[in-house]
Chains A and B, each alone.
Chain A
Amino acid sequence: MKLSELHVGAHAEVTSVGSEPLVRRRLMDLGLIRGTALRVLRVAPLGDPMEIVYKGLYLTLRKSEADGIGVRLIDTESAPEAGEQHLRHRRRFGRAS
């Protein structure tokens, strides 16, 4: 499912970020990576850019840009931040000697 297909109010988790390089880079820099839980907040009055919220950040993007973001709906009742748990926790980072 694509981010652009979500309705206002939907909760979802990012499964892939595959927009064109420039957009993808910008999205990832703003912390929209695989595993991020987000909510669709609203669409603009004229129906195009949409606003999503995740990790306390309010982000607007055009639907054409949201097309490249794969999402899957999450159950908000049981775990509001379910998405966060799917972050890869491979190892702790720290100082290298």
Chain B
Amino acid sequence: MKGRQEITVALTGNPNAGKSSLFNAITGAHQRVGNFPGVTIEKHEGYVDYKGRRITVVDLPGTYSLTPFSPEEIVTRRYIIDQKPDVVVNVVEGANLERNLLLTVQLMEMEVDLLVALNMIDEVEEKGIEIDVKQLQKLLGSHIVPTSARQKRGIDSLLDHILRIGDGVIEVGKNKLTFSPEVERAIVKISGLLSHETALEGSNHRWLAVKLLENDREAYHLVQQHPVWVRVELALQEAITECERLHRTDPEVLITEDRHAFIRGAMQECVRQPNAAKSSLTDYIDMVVLNRVLGLPVFFLVVWSIFQVTFSLGAPLTHGLDLLFGLAGRALEPLLPDPLIKSILIDGVLAGVGGVVVFLPNIVLLFIGLSFLEASGYMSRAAFVIDKVMHRFGLHGKSFIPMVTGFGCSIPAIMATRTLKSRSDRLATIMAIPFMSCGAKLPLYVLLAGAFFPPATAANVMFGIYLLGIVVGLWTAWMLKSTVLKSDSEPFVMELPPYRWPTLASVIFQARMKAVMYLKKAGTLILAAVMLIWASSNFPRSRDLEAGLAREKSRIESSSATPERKAAELSEASTKAQAAQLEYSLAGRGGKILEPLIRPLGFDWRIGIALVTGLAAKEVVVSTLGTIFSMGHAGGGAADLASILRSDPGFSQATALSLMVFVLLYIPCVASIGVMKKEVGAWKPVLIYTGYVLLVAWTASFLTYRVALFMR
């Protein structure tokens, strides 16, 4: 054991105990983010080289306890039991010691090599709280190091202690809490039984017995597999009856109360709090922010600001990136002789990469905003204010902000659902998000509403479309939560942490991580899909069409028309050829195959193509419509798309409405599907969901089309 080169440390602690800040202070830039196996809980791992040794630090999720009820707690427990880190550092918030010690006590029960970091010691001093560290050490049996991540205090001392515990220089006292006599008797009996079971050799029998008495699911599963279970079950039953008789409650409550009583005792012995409980700054802020009258306006103001920052501030950046990719394309164009290679590189690769990268400013800005809200403490308050509305649809108050973000772009919105703890809440929210009409769909609404409705009605039509999306989204969530996702709703029981200024480093770190995650995981998939759609709208190539275009070009060149006339005719000819090529391509054929299916919605094969190419990104629907509807149009480039559509026999007001509804509801773009798969963790639910949205979109469009035809 002694002098090993590498030492592994697990960081545990309550949410808001400053665990992440301490993690950042220890590891600096040496971090990476992964996932714990099987769950979408982020695993932050980092290392620091200290005194010639490498200390690897794993930041476990924040928990109040170690019951198997939340995924965070299960992850923490499994990590400690299975991975056996050399040292477990328990980060406790000095100013709220009493509450934080519950986790400490449970870690003591697990008999791990525990080290307590008494964090935010600066706050403790500010508040005039006196903590008798020596006495507390005696009671807990483990060393306590005062730290402050913000002031970078105590970090070296913490690392020294870690090394010494890892090397066995410090012996961590194996504390044994004694519980109420009846519970204690049951523990002795059950752990005695467990120690005779050879299969359970090497596990902590006393701890297991306590967990069984606490009605712990995981402990039950473990022990039930073995023959000893028959006798254990009997002993458990006995203990329950005994506790019921003596205390009119079950062992689980007694054990928890005993832990709290121990903590209470330790607090009385070791901590002096200044008497007068003054109202803190948090109290004053909450008087306004959570006020019955002001609460909602403040909430909407905050949501609106986040939205503004993400999309208004992001728009010029997105636009700039778009321009940059356009410039790159134009710079590249003359260098490439072959038109096919040109098309692959410029329309395929460059457009594909561009399509992925343009979302980046939005993602980074949104996550700067969201991690600011989260770290400052407002996020829980937002959930508190809006929970009643969300709860009506089976959702959690925390679902609101991701859903609103969906109006800008589904991708960051889906990524933002990570604040939701319960998997079923997350899934329901993720599946409601694509119905929140995203910014990329707006150009189509503007085009169609503007072309087919007078200005006064057009705005109402667009409002109606957005409203329909919200209704269908909430209905979807409600339906999911009352059927397949019925179980495992997160209780709303939630602490409102005191307001804090987030550290700039942690906000930036969060945003950077999200950006990298998006580019790495989603980027590859999105790029591949965009390329695929590009290929299907360009292949197979028609030799006849290419030859025809060449003939047409040489005819125009050699004609006696004015240069302007020539240029106009040339561009018209190439647009026509493009449209004909699109019709000839796989996407075009797909559109034609689709026609019987979409005929009832008022769509012909040309709209079918636009819907297929729209899978790449919803903005593409408008540009495809532009290419394909200008085909065969006499006016050529002279007329704008709106008037072309208006004059087209295949397009009526009813078609326009139906198309808007369909684009609102049908399959989200490949980028969001990619992110969805990443967040959900499996293809199956995503594919089922895709089928569902198609069905909903078809039905809604069909009804819209028929009603619109009837009303006319």
Interface residue ranges, A against B (CB under 8 Å): 17, 21-23, 25-31, 33-34, 42-49, 51, 55-62, 65, 87-96
Interface hit among B61-69, B584-592, B633-641, B675-683: B61-69
Tell whether A61 pairs with B491 under 8 Å between CB atoms, given A34-B257, A45-B385, A49-B397: yes
Q: Is B335 an interface residue (CB 8 A)?
A: no
10 closest pairs, A vs B, by CB? A29-B65, A48-B388, A45-B295, A46-B388, A93-B262, A58-B496, A96-B176, A28-B256, A62-B492, A23-B491
Q: Is B568 an interface residue (CB 8 A)?
A: no
User: What per-residue 1/0 map shows which CB atoms of B365-395 lie under 8 Å from chain A?
Assistant: 0000000000000001000111111010000
Q: Are B257 and A88 in contact (CB under 8 A)?
A: yes
Tell whether A42 pairs with B491 under 8 Å between CB atoms, given A29-B67, A56-B96: no
Q: Are B69 and A26 in contact (CB under 8 A)?
A: yes
Q: Are B391 and A48 in contact (CB under 8 A)?
A: yes
Q: Which B residues are CB-close (under 8 A) to A60?
A: 380, 384, 492-496
**Majority SS of interface residues in chain A?**
loop
Q: Are A90 and B260 in contact (CB under 8 A)?
A: no
* Nearest CB of chain A from residue B17's CB, rounded to whole Å: 13
Q: Are B496 and A59 in contact (CB under 8 A)?
A: yes
Q: Tell me, in angstroms, the Cα distance from A29 to B256 when the chains sit together.
A: 8
CB within 8 A of B141: which of A21, A51, A95?
A: A95
Q: Tell me, in angstroms, the Cα distance from A28 to B250 when the chains sit together.
A: 13
7 examples of A-B residue contacts, CB within 8 angstroms: A28-B253, A43-B292, A87-B260, A88-B261, A89-B261, A93-B177, A93-B178
Q: Is B264 an interface residue (CB 8 A)?
A: yes
Q: For residue B262, which residue of chain A has the nearest CB?
A: A93
Q: Tell me, in angstroms, the Cα distance from A1 to B397 when the chains sit together.
A: 27
Q: Which A residues are CB-close (under 8 A) to B389?
A: 46
Q: Are B253 and A17 in contact (CB under 8 A)?
A: yes
Q: Which B residues are CB-close (under 8 A) to A17?
A: 253
Q: For residue B292, which residue of chain A has the nearest CB?
A: A45
* Nearest CB of chain B from residue A49's CB, rounded to whole Å: 5
Q: Tell me, in angstroms, the Cα distance from A56 to B483 when the chains sit together.
A: 39
Q: Tell me, in angstroms, the Cα distance from A42 to B291 when the chains sit together.
A: 8
Q: Tell me, in angstroms, the Cα distance from A38 to B585 when the chains sit together.
A: 71
Tell whether A51 pairs with B265 under 8 Å between CB atoms, given A28-B256, A33-B257: no
Q: Are B69 and A31 in contact (CB under 8 A)?
A: no
Q: Tell me, in angstroms, the Cα distance from A62 to B387 when the chains sit together.
A: 9
Q: Are B296 and A45 in contact (CB under 8 A)?
A: yes
Q: Are A33 and B253 in contact (CB under 8 A)?
A: yes
* Nearest CB of chain A from residue B124's CB, rounded to whole Å: 13
Q: Are A58 and B139 in contact (CB under 8 A)?
A: no
Q: Are B492 and A31 in contact (CB under 8 A)?
A: no
In this complex, which of A42, A58, A93 has the most chain B Cβ atoms within 10 angstroms of its Cβ?
Answer: A93
Q: Tell me, in angstroms, the Cα distance from A43 to B296 when the chains sit together.
A: 13
Q: Are B290 and A44 in contact (CB under 8 A)?
A: yes
Tell whether A49 pairs with B384 under 8 Å between CB atoms, given A55-B99, A89-B261: yes
Q: Which B residues are CB-close (under 8 A) to A87?
A: 260-261, 264
In this complex, which of A29, A31, A95 has the most chain B Cβ atoms within 10 angstroms of its Cβ?
Answer: A29
Q: Is B175 an interface residue (CB 8 A)?
A: yes
Q: Is B71 an interface residue (CB 8 A)?
A: no
Interface residue ranges, B against A (CB under 8 Å): 64-65, 67, 69, 96, 98-99, 102, 139, 141, 173, 175-178, 180, 215, 252-253, 256-258, 260-262, 264-265, 277, 282, 290-293, 295-296, 380, 384-389, 391, 397, 491-497
CB within 8 A of B388: which of A21, A26, A49, A89?
A: A49
CB within 8 A of B494: which of A21, A46, A59, A88?
A: A59
Q: Are B102 and A31 in contact (CB under 8 A)?
A: yes
Q: Which B residues are CB-close (under 8 A) to A34?
A: 253, 257
Q: For residue B140, which residue of chain A has the nearest CB?
A: A95
* Nearest CB of chain A from residue B270's CB, rounded to whole Å: 13
Q: Are A65 and B492 in contact (CB under 8 A)?
A: yes
* Nearest CB of chain B from residue A41's CB, rounded to whole Å: 8
* Nearest CB of chain A from residue B286's CB, rounded to whole Å: 8
Q: Which A residues are CB-close (under 8 A) to B384?
A: 44, 49, 51, 60
Q: Are B388 and A30 in contact (CB under 8 A)?
A: no
Q: For residue B488, which residue of chain A has the nearest CB?
A: A22
* Nearest CB of chain A from residue B642's CB, rounded to whole Å: 43
Q: Are B291 and A45 in contact (CB under 8 A)?
A: yes
* Nearest CB of chain A from residue B390's CB, rounded to whole Å: 10
Q: Tell me, in angstroms, the Cα distance from A44 to B252 when the chains sit together.
A: 32
* Nearest CB of chain B from residue A89's CB, rounded to whole Å: 7
Q: Are B265 and A93 in contact (CB under 8 A)?
A: yes
Q: Are B491 and A29 in contact (CB under 8 A)?
A: no
Tell whether A47 pairs with B175 under 8 Å between CB atoms, given A30-B493, A90-B180: no
* Nearest CB of chain B from residue A25's CB, rounded to whole Å: 5
Tell whether A44 pairs with B493 under 8 Å between CB atoms, given A26-B69, A62-B391, A95-B176: no
CB within 8 A of A58: which of B261, B387, B495?
A: B495
Q: Which B residues are CB-close (under 8 A) to A25?
A: 65, 67, 69, 252
Q: Are A59 and B493 in contact (CB under 8 A)?
A: yes
* Nearest CB of chain A from residue B289's CB, rounded to whole Å: 10
Q: Tell me, in angstroms, the Cα distance from A3 to B132 when the chains sit together.
A: 36
Q: Are A49 and B492 in contact (CB under 8 A)?
A: yes
Q: For residue A36, which residue of chain B has the nearest CB?
A: B260
